[in-house]
Structure formats: C-alpha cells, structure tokens
A and B are shown apart, each in its own frame.
Chain A
Amino acid sequence: MMAWVEDNIDSLNIKMVIGVGDLVENNEKITTDYDGNQTTQQQWQSAARAFGKLDGKVPYIAATGNHDYSIDRQGNRSSRYHEFFHPEKNFLNQKFLVQNSRNERGQPTLENSAYELRNLNGKDYLFLTVEYGPRDSVLTWAKKVAALQQYKNHRIVLATHNYLSQKDQHTSGEIKWLFWEPYNIDNMIQKAPHVKMPFANNGVQIWQKLVQPASNIELVLCGHISGEGYRTDKNVAGKTVHQMLFDAQSMGGGHRDGNGGDGWLRILEFLPDGKTVKVKTFSPFFGASPSTRHLAWKKDARNEYLMKFD
C-alpha cells in the first residue's frame, strides 16, 4: 500500500497522506505468543517503516487511534507513538508543521499538530489532527488554532480517529479503553474492564466543541468503526462540512480472522475548480495482479462520490 502511494506521488500529484489512526494493534505487549506474533516495539517499527517509504517524498499525518494508547487504572493514556513518529522522521512533515500541542504526558508530539500547505490551486490549506478521544484541552487548542487570523481564509481538513459511525452519525457515549490484567490466560485474550478516559471527547462533542464553531473546518476524516460513513452539516458560518469515515480493517475476512483490510485506501482528488473533491476507493493489493484487478475498485455510491465545498 505505502509502496504504491510512493510510486504514485507524481502521477496523482499527491500533496498529503492522512492515516486516521490505529497504527498498531497493541501499545503494551512484550510477548509474542498471542494476539499476533509481534511485540509492541515490532508493531511500531513496522508502522513506522511503512510510512517511512514516504519520508522525504510527501508529507503525511499519522493520527492516533485507541489501539495506539495504553491506559492506567484511572484511564490516563500513554503511547510510544512519539518514539516512532517524531517530527524529524520526515523532513517534509517538519517543513509544513506549523502548530502542535502536547500529549497527555505533557510531551510536545505530533499527536495534536497542524500542517500548512499554501496555494493548492489558489487555496491555502491547514491539515489538522487531534488525538483519539481528544481531551478538552486539545479541543481548546485546536479551536484556537482554527480561529487564528492567519488561517481565517484557509480550508481546514481535520483528521481524528473516532468521530463518525457507519450509520453516518457522530459517535456518542463515553470514551473508554481496555485495561488488561492479566491480558492472556492459556493463549486466550481475557475480557478486560473498559475504563473511562477522563476529559476525552466523542464525535458529538468534537462536532459541538471544535468543528461546528469553526468557520473554516470543511472536511473531517476518521476511522475507528469498520465500514464507510459520510454526512454533511453546516458550521457556524453556514458552510458545508463534509465528514467521512473509512475503515477497511474488517474487509477481507474480518478484523481478527481476515487479511487486515486488503490494502484498501481512498483517493481524494481535489479538482482544479477548487470546490470539488472526487472520492474513490482503491486497493493496490488487488490492483497488483491481473487476476484480481477486477476487484480493485469499490464503485458503489458509498465508496465513490463527489463532495462540493461552498
């Protein structure tokens, strides 16, 4: 998938790559006998290596998902994300990085960050990402960034993990994550208590606290829930906000029993009119072989459509 992206940077005039979170399966695993054969260290290395194909060639956002965090009994989160996705990894990320905040441990990382790309067919863009279940302080930071005079006329694209459902609804309910103790008994992953993460926000709250009040966030991309979703709403300025879910991890036989998503990705073509985006869903995995190429596109209305900015 990432090799295909690398090969098509010029032909598709790719200006940004956005991963919507869940880079790894488990952020706290040091054994190899269950739930996959890689430790957390190896999983992060693998994800970093995959994105590394793009280093120095195109900027990218790698948002964080729930699987990218561990929590303690109080629901406070930590992640090894910053060890593998640091600002120096891709000098193009560093070149376009204009804002960042801190993670829950108080460290300045890319988990909450913004990248400015100017004059794309005459329009300036700010690509903004906030952590999984962003804390109140993060939404406050992001809202302040969006409201800065210097970005007043930018079009902001927001990437976050948990925002929209496959039923086209903003996600609701308390933000929780698993605290395993112990994780594995006789090679069976144990049911674990879901612990509420303090100050974390769901999709409804992200809409209410950040996206709707901002006049310039016009596109939101997310993952987390298997399937596709799409909806539009009007923000405080009366502009249409396009909101898209795409999560392929259960395609190809299911999350734990399948092929992990068969390499499906989305191509968002921003047309020269500055208003229209063509959304297409493609699998380089299927596209690689003549015998599977007929499976390489999803052409139904949920997977190929047009979005129009106001």
Chain B
Amino acid sequence: MKQLGIVWTLLLVLASQLAFAQDVYRKPVLEQKGSWSVIMVPDIQNYVNGAETSPSWI
C-alpha cells in the first residue's frame, strides 16, 4: 500500500512537471492575423566543440 502511494506521488509529480513544461512552452505563431515576419539568423560560423564543424542544429 505504501509502495502504491509512492508510485501515485511520483506520477502526480511527473504530471505536474509535464503540465508546467507545456505551460511555459509556446509554439511560435504570429501574434496578429495579417502580420508577416523576418527571421534573423545569427553568426553560424560552422563551429562547435572545438573538434568538429557544422553543429547539428544548423
């Protein structure tokens, strides 16, 4: 019974964490209908970790 309580507690913590993460994250969208956008790409420089070029995120 005690173990079941621990499992439920863990599940509740996980669920609240997930809800928090979802709450903080917002998918990029235009805030107003009719807007248009420019994307600014900063220095890429093809450099990462001192030993390898082309970061995975490029």
Residues of A within 8 A of B (CB): 1-2, 5, 8, 11-25, 36-38, 42-43, 46-47, 50, 65, 67, 120-121, 157, 221, 223-224, 244, 246-249, 255-272, 278, 280, 282, 284-285, 287, 290-291, 293-294, 296-297
Q: Which residue in chain B gives the minimum CB-CB distance to A159? A: B40
For A42, the chain B residues whose CB sits under 8 A away are 53
Selected from A223, A259, A266, the residue in CB contact (under 8 A) with B39 is A266
B13 to chain A, nearest CB (A): 15
Q: Of residues B29, B35, B39, which shows the largest number of chain A Cβ atoms within 10 Å of its Cβ?
A: B39
Mark B19-35 against chain A: 1 for CB-CB distance below 8 A, else 0: 01110111111111111
CA distance A157 to B39 in the complex (A): 13
For B31, the chain A residues whose CB sits under 8 A away are 269, 271, 278
A262 and B57 contact, Cβ closer than 8 Å, known pairs A37-B51, A67-B45, A294-B21: yes
Check if B40 sits within 8 Å of A1, measured CB to CB. no
CA distance A170 to B6 in the complex (A): 59
Please name 11 further chain A to chain B contacts, defined as beta carbons within 8 Å, in addition to the given A269-B35, A294-B24, sorted by A numbering.
A13-B36, A14-B36, A19-B42, A19-B44, A20-B40, A36-B51, A244-B40, A248-B42, A259-B48, A260-B44, A291-B21
A37 and B53 contact, Cβ closer than 8 Å, known pairs A11-B29, A269-B31, A294-B24: yes
Q: Tell whether B54 is near chain A: CB-to-CB under 8 Å.
A: yes
For A8, the chain B residues whose CB sits under 8 A away are 28
Check if A38 sits within 8 Å of B24, measured CB to CB. no
Q: Tell whether B58 is near chain A: CB-to-CB under 8 Å.
A: yes
For A248, the chain B residues whose CB sits under 8 A away are 42-43
Selected from B21, B43, B45, B46, the residue in CB contact (under 8 A) with A293 is B21
B28 to chain A, nearest CB (A): 6
Q: Which residue in chain A gives the minimum CB-CB distance to B24? A: A294
Q: Which residue in chain A gives the minimum CB-CB distance to B54? A: A46
Check if A13 sits within 8 Å of B53, measured CB to CB. no
Residues of B within 8 A of A (CB): 18, 20-22, 24-55, 57-58
For A267, the chain B residues whose CB sits under 8 A away are 28, 37, 39-40
Check if A38 sits within 8 Å of B46, measured CB to CB. yes
Check if A270 sits within 8 Å of B36, measured CB to CB. yes
Check if B50 sits within 8 Å of A260, measured CB to CB. no
Check if B46 sits within 8 Å of A280, measured CB to CB. no
Q: Which residue in chain B gives the minimum CB-CB distance to A14? A: B37
Q: Which residue in chain A gives the minimum CB-CB distance to B32? A: A271
Selected from B25, B33, B35, B53, the residue in CB contact (under 8 A) with A294 is B25
**21 contacts across the A-B interface (CB closer than 8 A):** A8-B28, A11-B29, A14-B37, A21-B43, A37-B53, A46-B46, A247-B42, A248-B42, A249-B44, A257-B49, A258-B49, A260-B57, A261-B45, A263-B57, A265-B39, A267-B37, A269-B35, A270-B38, A282-B28, A287-B25, A293-B21
CA distance A287 to B18 in the complex (A): 14
For A282, the chain B residues whose CB sits under 8 A away are 28
CA distance A211 to B36 in the complex (A): 24
B14 to chain A, nearest CB (A): 12
A296 and B25 contact, Cβ closer than 8 Å, known pairs A37-B51, A121-B34: yes
